[in-house]
């Protein structure tokens, strides 16, 4: 499966990085990770969302766009552990909650729209489906200090926003929705996704039927 571009989406703590690593190994593709440890805005954002919402979203958009361009110019495909299209989910959430002003949100959307002309759509999006409660449990387990203030209400709203996102994006990009809890390991999940992608890529034939 050369030159395949796969984007992984999902709630906070869904296991995107773990799956991205396993999927890249299974398909022999480069892997591109979400900028977390070197994110210079993240800690400040969780302390004061309203102040840092807009600069954080611009920072992430810039980082993921750079990853997109690396995938395009390398010509080898790749696995990205959070798609650039998901950025709009978080920006929408911040605007709805009042943490991002309407002016900033509209500026963000305009920039995203302009950049989208130079983006490369993934061949497929793999969405890790976890509940808000599962997301909260995993956030607690990994104990990132900057995420300690995350509320269940926020995660419930985020989950709903993701459901809308997946419904919309599936009209233009094929989506494989995966329940992580059904797989003992990420490696087994990667093998199952490989099989599903091969089936999606097949050409389907339609024949005329006199009974129609």
Give the long-range contacts of residues 65-68, CB within 8 A, separation 24 or more.
65/115, 65/118, 65/119, 67/32, 68/118, 68/119, 68/120
Closest CA to 3 of 120, 171, 115: 120
**81 assigned to active site:** yes
CA atoms 179, 181, 182, 184: torsion sign:
positive
Catalytic residue among 44, 48, 81, 153: 81
Give the long-range contacts of residues 83-86, CB within 8 A, separation 24 or more.
83/7, 83/8, 83/9, 83/122, 83/125, 84/7, 84/119, 85/7, 85/9, 85/125, 85/165, 85/169, 86/9, 86/165
Give the strands of the sheet with 31-32, arranged side by side.
31-32, 78-80, 5-10, 124-128, 175-178
Known catalytic residues?
81
């Amino acid at each position: 499966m050369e030159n395949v571009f796969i984007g992984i989406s999902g709630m906070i703590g869904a296991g995107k990085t773990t799956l991205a690593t396993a999927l890249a190994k299974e398909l022999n593709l480069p892997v591109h990770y979400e900028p977390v440890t070197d994110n210079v805005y993240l800690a400040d954002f969780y302390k004061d969302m309203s102040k840092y919402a807009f600069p954080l979203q611009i920072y992430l958009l810039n980082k993921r766009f750079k990853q997109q361009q690396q995938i395009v110019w390398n010509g080898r495909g790749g696995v990205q552990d959070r798609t650039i299209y998901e950025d709009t989910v978080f920006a929408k959430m911040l605007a709805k909650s009042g943490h991002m002003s309407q002016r900033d949100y509209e500026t963000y959307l305009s920039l995203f729209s302009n950049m989208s002309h130079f983006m490369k759509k993934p061949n497929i999006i793999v969405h890790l489906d976890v509940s808000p409660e599962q997301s909260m449990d995993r956030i607690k387990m990994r104990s990132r200090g900057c995420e300690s203030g995350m509320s269940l209400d926020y995660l419930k709203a985020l989950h709903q926003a993701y459901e809308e996102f997946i419904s919309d994006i599936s009209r233009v990009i094929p989506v494989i929705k995966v329940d992580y809890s059904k797989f003992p390991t990420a490696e087994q999940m990667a093998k199952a996704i490989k099989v599903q992608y091969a089936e999606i890529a097949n050409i389907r034939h339609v024949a005329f039927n006199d009974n129609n």
